[in-house]
Amino acid sequence: MKISYMNYFLTKISQIIMNRVSVFLMVFVLCLISFLSLGQNSEYKINTIVIDAGHGGKDPGAVGKHSYEKDIVLSIALKTGKYIKEKFPHIKVIYTRDKDIFIPLKERPEIANKHNADLFISIHANSLENNTRTYGTETFILGLHKSKDNLAVAMKENSVMLYEDDYSNKYEGFDPKDPASYIIFNLMHSLHIDNSTSMAQHTEHQFKNRVGRRSRGVKAAELWVLRKASMPSVLIEVGFISNPNEERFLKSKKGQDYMSSAIFRAFRSYKEEIERHTSRTFEVNKAPVIDESNSGVLYCIQVKSSSKKIPLNSKVFAGLENVIEKQVNGTYKYIVGQNSNLRSVINKKREVKKIVPDCFIVAYHNGKPVSIKQAKNIQKS
């Protein structure tokens, strides 16, 4: 019995890996092209945003006592887009759907890719079976789930593909209900993890501090709709419609106005933050704290970025040693483990990753950000 299961497991992994080789190569080429073209731009401005209202048509999404997820999130998505258009008329706002129709899961990020969007926002509502007490917002970025709850959300949202014919072939053998499929989930989105995290943090900040909702925080999960988007992207869960009070709020015009305006304000803060920089995350974000008196190359591990100052003794840094802060263009960046030896930083990252799963390595030369490849070349010369 054990041997049979192991054979099945290994065969499944082999099939998924083989199916993804071509996808990986395609994404790599697209990223390379984007990197080269973006390097020619001295200033980066957000020009296009895609807003995705989850589910729709034959797929109701989460079902509350008096509402469907698909209806609530469509209203919030359209209101969010309206706010953005009114404040930033030069920005092109594209909806994956603007009415109650079914859009296959794989087509949603493809719409963003096709229009070369600068940001992808997917809006959803949560639900728990036989649980009317849990409530609150949470915003997801693509990454390895850290809890069973995060995996459950990923499996729920990914299960939309089951509404499609021949979904197994369309999604490269991925089975949204099989935990084994998540083990080798392709994390190409790490290219955009810092900007995605920033948008997610701004969103939860707005929900908590401006709308007064309970924030369940920024989380990571293996969500297909984010995996295929070739730009910073987030999946926002605006609340639990399985909770009667939260369903009542989200179903109301006032609640939908509040949530959409919060997402708009988060976008505005995110836009202001990244447009201060002169390049996208492909080229390494501009702000971790380093020793600027050092004339050589330094590698470091970025663990946090925030629009507001975070005390170094804050519990968010619990377990981390020698956290350093620097403010750049109004944004605070926090790093640990700076060292001129890349191998030492890589080894250190393995430890830090246990505390901050979304941490990543950046490089600096003479106090200025450079890519890891550039830093290594400088050290060789």
pLDDT digits (tens, 9 = 90+) for 79-127: 999 999 999 999 999 999 999 999 998 899 999 989 999 999 999 999 9
Residue range 342-355: average pLDDT? 87
**Of 69, 46, 86, 96, nearest to 264 (Cα)?**
86
The residue among 311 and 110 whose pLDDT is bigger is: 110
Whole-angstrom Cα distance, residue 135 to residue 148? 17
The residue among 374 and 278 whose pLDDT is bigger is: 374
The residue among 188 and 10 whose pLDDT is bigger is: 10
Whole-angstrom Cα distance, residue 243 to residue 127? 8
Alpha carbon 172 to chain centroid, angstroms: 22
For residue 303, give both structure tokens. Answer: 């663990």
Q: Which phi and psi angles does 49 have, rounded to 5°?
A: -130, 135
The residue among 44 and 55 whose pLDDT is bigger is: 55
pLDDT-derived band of residue 75, with 50, 70 and 90 as boundaries? very high
Residue range 233-251: average pLDDT? 97
pLDDT-derived band of residue 343, with 50, 70 and 90 as boundaries? confident
Is 182 a residue whose pLDDT tops 50? no
Is 265 a residue whose pLDDT tops 60? yes
The residue among 112 and 181 whose pLDDT is bigger is: 112
36-45, 128-137, 166-175, 215-224 — most confident range: 128-137
Residue range 185-196: average pLDDT? 61
**Of 265, 131, 248, nearest to 208 (Cα)?**
265
Residue range 210-214: average pLDDT? 96
Is 247 a residue whose pLDDT tops 70? yes
Question: CB–CB of 129/243 below 8 Å?
Answer: no
What are 141-154's pLDDT values in tens digits?
Answer: 987 544 455 455 55
Share of the chain above pLDDT 70, in %: 69
pLDDT-derived band of residue 183, with 50, 70 and 90 as boundaries? very low
The predicted pLDDT at position 73 comes to 98
**Angle at alpha carbon of residue 215, lines to 209 and 216, rounded to 5°:** 160
For residue 99, give both structure tokens. Answer: 């009415």
For residue 122, give both structure tokens. Answer: 């997917």
Share of the chain above pLDDT 90, in %: 39
Residue range 173-195: average pLDDT? 54
pLDDT-derived band of residue 28, with 50, 70 and 90 as boundaries? low
pLDDT-derived band of residue 1, with 50, 70 and 90 as boundaries? very low
Residue that the structure tokens 């945003």 belong to: 49
Is 232 a residue whose pLDDT tops 50? yes
Min mean pLDDT across 78-92, 122-136, 222-236, 366-380 is at: 366-380
Residue range 351-370: average pLDDT? 80
Is 278 a residue whose pLDDT tops 60? no
Strands (DSSP E) found in the chain: 48-53, 92-95, 119-126, 137-142, 215-221, 233-240, 297-306, 324-328, 331-339, 360-365, 368-370
The predicted pLDDT at position 136 comes to 97
For residue 234, give both structure tokens. Answer: 């987030």
The overall pTM is greater than 0.85: no
Min mean pLDDT across 18-27, 87-96, 139-148, 236-245 is at: 18-27
Residue range 197-210: average pLDDT? 94
The predicted pLDDT at position 144 comes to 56
Residue range 328-355: average pLDDT? 83
Question: CB–CB of 51/95 below 8 Å?
Answer: yes
Query: By three-state DSSP, how is residue 22 classified?
Result: helix
The predicted pLDDT at position 85 comes to 96
Number of residues assigned to the chain: 381
Whole-angstrom Cα distance, residue 268 to residue 261? 10
For residue 333, give both structure tokens. Answer: 């960046």
Query: What are the chain's domains?
Result: 2-274 (3.40.630.40), 284-380 (3.30.70.1070)
The predicted pLDDT at position 275 comes to 84
Is 335 a residue whose pLDDT tops 70? yes
Is 321 a residue whose pLDDT tops 60? yes
State the maximum Cα–Cα separation within the chain, in Å, rounded to a whole number. Answer: 67
